[in-house]
Structures are given as C-alpha cells and as structure tokens.
Amino acid sequence: MKIDRMNKGEWGKLRAFFDLRTNEGIVIKGFKLVEGVNGLFVGMPSQKGKDEEFFDTVFMERDVRDKLNDLAMDEYNNPSSSPESTDSETASTPNVSSDEPAKIDEMTTTADEGVQPFDDNDVPF
C-alpha cells in the first residue's frame, strides 16, 4: 500500500487529507491526519449518520492501521515528497515550454485589472 495523494494544511486539528492505494489497485479516499493529545494519528474515512454522528466507513486490523500510520507520518514529514504522476496524467498533460507559463500569468494579470476587490457591502445579509 502507498499514499496516493496528500493535501497538507491546517484546518483546526486536521493536518492533512490523503488517499490510500492498495497493492491490488484499490483506492480508498478520505483518510485524515489529525493532531491529537498524543500527537498525529490517522483518522479513517467517515460518514455522517442520521443522528448527526460520524461513523467510520473503513475498518482495519491493528497491525495494518499501525503500518498506515507510519506510512502517513513518513509522507507528511517528507517535505520533498511530490505526487507521483500516473500514465494517464502524463498522457493528458500537453508539452509546455518554459516561456508559456509566463504568458499565462500575464494574461491572468491583465484580465484581473478590471475586477474590483471584495467589500463588506457585497455580502447580502
């Protein structure tokens, strides 16, 4: 198993979201890396029930969960980690020369010049 993608950030006690790809090719989405009283731990994907409580939708044995926790910690603490591109991503990504991103940035900048900044009077309530 390996971490398929990880979105790092800080949302309260939440430090990252990630997906898990098994050796069989199954992708399980919705894992969370949470800051608890004893440090970081992996939270399982969950869903809100009728009683407004959240319930885990994925269950793992203790040894697999520990292995996943170690794997997620390594990925989270590795600053040079970048998502691995798959063959489908590589095939769909056009070849872009190094000067084209600068042209895109210039177009974005000139298009945004006429946009007025957000104001508190824009809120309808």
Residue ranges per structural domain of the chain: 2-77
Look up tokens 């989405």; give the residue.
29
Residue 1: which residues within 8 A CB-CB, separation 6 or more? 20, 21, 22, 23, 67, 68, 71
Cα–Cα distance measured from residue 44 to residue 50, given in angstroms and rounded to the nearest whole number:
19
- pLDDT for 107: 47
Q: Does domain 2-77 have CATH number 3.30.1120.40?
A: yes
- Residue 66 near residue 50 (C-beta atoms within 8 A): no
- pLDDT for 98: 46
Q: Tens digits of per-residue pLDDT, 63-86?
A: 999 999 999 999 999 876 544 434
- pLDDT for 21: 94
- pLDDT for 28: 93
- pLDDT for 85: 39
**SS3 state of residue 100:** helix
- pLDDT for 53: 92
Which residues of the chain fall below pLDDT 70?
A: 80-125
Q: Two tokens at 69? A: 């926790």
- pLDDT for 116: 56
Neighbouring CB atoms inside 10 A of 72's CB total 22
- pLDDT for 30: 92
- pLDDT for 81: 53
- pLDDT for 78: 85
Q: Give the pTM.
A: 0.59
Neighbouring CB atoms inside 10 A of 118's CB total 8
- Residue 40 near residue 76 (C-beta atoms within 8 A): yes
